[in-house]
Structure 1
């Protein structure tokens, strides 16, 4: 699964990579957590171009009676996304890109404390998670837009840490993910085939209140390093 990530790219870099026109006021975030608002890129209303949206991380299906008490789903398994009632409509019509610089996973057995690891692309460049989003509308006109990160089986590099990983999309697949038919989008939900690097970080990341660059530093608390190769938002 993917339950924490970092997004530290400058806004200009984000605009260039993802092709939207907005001038958002976004600061670096080193410990993005579920229920927070996150930046996501989707097809603009009307179908022309892309737009940046602020979505709440943790998908609430449009048919939920009460979004406040609904079970919010932060991840959607790629293997079942097209069939599960909670996800199938969003997968068919509302896919998005979730910008990131890296993400965290925890390694350890159930009896002892888990060691957090930070994972990024081998070259350190920003990337996009495959995401889906949903819109809940109340009878009084209120609405709430939420999202989930799509996951798949871990690749060989990440498997020693965790058996699942988020779907990481290469830039040449962005348009296909956003606009193609579900059958074609399904072909993109595969383990990342590029090179990644991982390293252990301090357990400071376990607490959502901690959110600074020190969270990405290699931890001296453990020797279990694995290096492998194969806040709120104000958008406008």
Structure 2
């Protein structure tokens, strides 16, 4: 589960300038994004790409209030299920320059890892409702799986941002067709940014079980875990 990611304003603003118009007031945001914080996204408004600040953690349609736990990750293979299905067709692209996950096996078990992108041109697919959003996740790619984590954000080609946000497909199968055509396994650098708290070893067996479940999902349904 991706609960923390970085947005470098200088790099991301330069990228936004190439794909969307927006006010200078939209150029100031926190560089580290935690659940319930506002973060920049690209979405379609009046048939044009627009940069907006949305809350990281989806508040589903028809929800009576904020969920007790932030809904900041949506498994792509579960898009036809509640609460995600009500936001299918409302697509956004979420820029990030790095993200963080915990490692439970591989070369650095017990470490918090930072995954960053040399070219700093990375977008994940997202869905939104009102002023809130969540990122789509998928089974980890081979290199990330080897580094000790079983899931990752669903990254898309930077040049396909408009394709994603303009598709507005409410049919999940059609949405999957679009994602299969634009999803990528980005090249990233991986560095340790500290050790996990004592007791993490107690979670190893459970995490390895989840890893094996993801490997089985990939074997049956392909790299993204969708038919």
Alpha-carbon distance in structure 2 between the residues aligned to 1:64 and 1:185: 23
User: How many corresponding residue pairs?
Assistant: 186
Matches within 5 A, 1:94-173: 94-108=90-104, 114-121=110-117, 123-135=118-130, 145-160=131-146, 161-173=148-160
Partner Cα separation in structure 2 for residue 166 and residue 64 of structure 1: 25
Structure 1 unmatched runs, 5+:
136-144, 207-236
1:11-26 correspondence to structure 2 within 5 Å: 12-23=13-24, 24-26=26-28
Q: 1:120 to 1:184 in 2, by over 3 A?
A: farther
In 2, Cα distance between equivalents of 1:27 and 1:56: 12
What is the TM-score when the length of structure 2 is the normalising length?
Answer: 0.73
1:37/1:60 CA distance change after superposition, 3 Å: same
> Unpaired runs of 5+ in structure 2?
198-227
Q: CA RMSD in A?
A: 2.4
Offset from partner CA, 1:86-144 (integer Å, 9 cap, x none): 1112122x1101111111111137xxx941111123x3323111111112xxxxxxxxx
Could you tell me which residue of structure 2 aligns to residue 60 of structure 1?
Answer: 59
User: Closer, same or farther in 2 for the Cα pair 1:12/1:66, shift >3 Å?
Assistant: closer
Write the mapping of 1:61-80 to structure 2, written as runs, cut at 5 A.
Answer: 61-67=60-66, 69-80=67-78
- Provide closer, same or farther for how the CA distance between residues 151 and 169 of structure 1 changes in structure 2, counting only shifts above 3 A: same
In structure 2, the residue corresponding to 1:79 is in which secondary structure? helix
* 2:161 partner SS: helix
RCO greater where, 1 or 2, for CA within 8 Å and sep 6 or more? 1
More helix as a share of residues: 2
Quote the Cα distance in structure 2 between the aligned partners of 1:130 and 1:197.
20
CA distance 1:18–1:103, shift in 2 (3 Å): farther
- 1:171 Cα deviation from its structure 2 partner: 1.7
1:163–1:192 Cα change, 3 Å:
farther
Q: Distance in 2 between matches of 1:102 and 1:184?
A: 29
**TM-score normalised by length of structure 1:** 0.70
Q: Is the 8 A contact 1:64 1:70 kept in 2?
A: no
